[in-house]
């Protein structure tokens, strides 16, 4: 049985990754290291921690703490790493960037150093297409390829780009078996409701409006989280050390088109359901991913189509109201009011 350290495994994508591997019976023991920041939620994996204690272990701790990370290898026997832990919300990085530098840059460096000293066998660093910056809207043929130079535009994407540079350097300098993935916008179950899709869906369920930035014409590629998790698993198993793999949903849409779909699916309309708000500063206009390399070299491609996966996603939030209603109070409300005040 392989023992894998999963950082940030109580967050959105990390929890989906853990659930996928445990539920389908992969021959793995997963050790989740998570600080449980506002975005971490043990409720995302609690049922599996209780039912599969020999295959899933949780440790509350900070990736910036070298002793804690070292114990993952010495005490829990981890030999491979999948690194999800991060401060992940662009809007929060605009309010304050220092936690982003601390976790995303310093935390990644600590993790790399410990993994190097313990001769970790595989290390997948989960990054983002946002490191590439923004694409022109009038040239749909241009997409982000792995060779596209990094040009991050937000404190969040700058911190992820810095962590990518460290990962690259540890391959070139120390020949560490590291791989990097850069994916587009994820959606699906267990996503913290400050992010666009769960925010839109749960606001409508609460009789509130969808806050739509600027003219709503920003374009993103949308990737169903289950497809993303399968891609990461593929890279962990078959990826080549030192390589970057772009992961996309093959599904470019404007924010207006996304909102339109959600309104329709939830029986609402533009007048009742949408409020235009002042645009995010430095808002990237278009992201689009060329995911040809991972298809050609590792045989992965997305299996979910947006129009069916969004229905499943909406249904999940309808069926799990306790989960998101518990989050959308207290600290979250304070953040929401700061974020959208006067917009
Ligand atoms: N969500 C997306 O659409 C998306 C897109 C591209 C890339 N990514 C990347 O995927 C990864 C996971 O994203 P997510 O959406 O699941 O994020 P998330 O914010 O939902 O979860 C992050 C998790 O990391 C934990 N964490 C934060 N700081 C930590 C620290 N110092 N030590 C230990 N744990 C810590 C949090 O408690 C949380 O459980 C991130 O690296 C992010 O940059 C996400």
Residue 117 belongs to domain with CATH number: 3.40.50.720
What is the per-residue DSSP string for 30-76?
Answer: EEEEE---TT--GGGTHHHHHH-TTTEEEEE--TT-HHHHHHHHHTT
Tell me, what's the pLDDT at 284? Answer: 87
Cβ-based neighbour number of residue 65 at 10 Å: 15
Tell me, what's the pLDDT at 342? Answer: 55
Tell me, what's the pLDDT at 329? Answer: 82
CA-CA distance, 44 to 20, in Å (whole number)?
A: 12
Tell me if 2 sits within 8 A of 79, measured CB to CB: yes
- Token readout for 168 is 């690259």
Tell me if 62 sits within 8 A of 108, measured CB to CB: no
Question: For atom 36 of ligand 1, which residue has the closest CA?
Answer: 40
Question: Probe ligand 1: pick from 9, 11, 20, 245, max atoms within 8 Å of CB?
Answer: 11
Tell me, what's the pLDDT at 50? Answer: 97
The CA angle 127-129-130, to the nearest 5 degrees, is 95
Domain assignment of residue 110, given as a range: 2-191+222-252+283-308
Question: For atom 11 of ligand 1, which residue has the closest CA?
Answer: 84
Question: How remote is the CA of residue 14 from the centroid of ligand 1, in Å?
Answer: 7
Ligand 1 first shell, C-beta below 6 A: 7-8, 10-14, 33-37, 39-40, 62-64, 84-88, 103, 107, 126, 128, 160, 183, 185-186, 192
Tell me, what's the pLDDT at 339? Answer: 76
Tell me, what's the pLDDT at 343? Answer: 55
Tell me if 178 sits within 8 A of 185, measured CB to CB: no
CA-CA distance, 56 to 18, in Å (whole number)?
A: 8
Residue 99 in any domain: the answer is yes
Residue 60 in any domain: the answer is yes
Tell me, what's the pLDDT at 341? Answer: 65
10 Cα nearest atom in ligand 1: 39
Residue 216 in any domain: the answer is no
- Number of residues in the chain: 343
Which value, in Å, is the radius of gyration of the alpha carbons in the chain?
19
Burial of residue 108, with CB atoms counted within 10 A of its CB: 0-12 exposed, 13-18 middle, 19 or more buried: buried
Residue 271 in any domain: the answer is no
* Beta bridge partner(s), residue 144: 289
Tell me if 221 sits within 8 A of 140, measured CB to CB: no
Residue 317 in any domain: the answer is no
Residue 275 in any domain: the answer is no
Regions of the chain short of the pLDDT cut 70: 341-343
Number of domains present in the structure of the chain: 1
pTM as predicted: 0.96
Tell me, what's the pLDDT at 152? Answer: 97
Residue 48 in any domain: the answer is yes
Residues annotated as catalytic (active site), given as ranges: 129-130, 156
Residue 196 in any domain: the answer is no
Tell me, what's the pLDDT at 186? Answer: 97
Tell me, what's the pLDDT at 107? Answer: 98
Tell me if 180 sits within 8 A of 125, measured CB to CB: yes
């Amino acid at each position: 049985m392989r023992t894998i350290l999963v950082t940030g495994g109580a967050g959105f994508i990390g929890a989906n990754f853990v659930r996928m591997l445990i539920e389908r019976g992969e021959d793995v023991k997963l050790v989740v290291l998570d600080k449980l920041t506002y975005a971490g939620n043990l409720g995302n994996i609690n049922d599996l921690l209780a039912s599969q204690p020999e295959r899933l272990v949780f440790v509350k701790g900070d990736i910036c703490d070298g002793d804690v990370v070292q114990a993952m290898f010495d005490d829990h026997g981890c030999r491979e790493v999948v690194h999800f832990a991060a401060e992940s919300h662009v809007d929060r990085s605009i309010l304050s960037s220092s936690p982003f530098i601390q976790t995303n840059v310093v935390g990644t460096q600590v993790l790399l150093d410990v993994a190097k000293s313990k001769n970790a066998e595989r290390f997948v660093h989960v990054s983002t297409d946002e490191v590439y910056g923004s694409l022109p809207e009038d040239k749909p043929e241009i997409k982000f390829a792995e060779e596209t130079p990094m040009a991050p535009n937000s404190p969040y994407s700058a911190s992820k780009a810095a962590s990518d540079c460290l990962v690259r350097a540890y391959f070139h300098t120390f020949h560490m078996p590291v791989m990097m993935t850069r994916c587009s916008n994820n959606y699906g179950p267990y996503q913290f409701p400050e992010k666009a899709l769960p925010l839109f869906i749960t606001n409508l369920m609460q009789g509130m409006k969808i806050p739509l930035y600027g003219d709503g014409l920003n374009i993103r590629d949308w990737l169903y989280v289950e497809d993303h998790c399968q891609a990461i698993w593929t890279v962990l198993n078959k990826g080549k050390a030192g390589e970057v793999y772009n992961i996309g949903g093959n599904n470019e849409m404007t924010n207006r088109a996304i909102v339109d779909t959600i309104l329709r699916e939830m029986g609402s309309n533009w007048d009742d359901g949408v409020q235009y708000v002042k645009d995010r500063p430095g808002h990237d206009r278009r992201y689009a991913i060329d995911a040809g390399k991972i298809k050609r070299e590792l045989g992965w491609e997305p299996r979910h189509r947006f129009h069916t996966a969004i229905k499943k996603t909406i249904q999940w939030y309808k069926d799990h109201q306790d989960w998101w209603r518990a989050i959308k109070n207290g600290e979250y409300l304070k953040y929401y009011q700061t974020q959208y005040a006067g917009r």
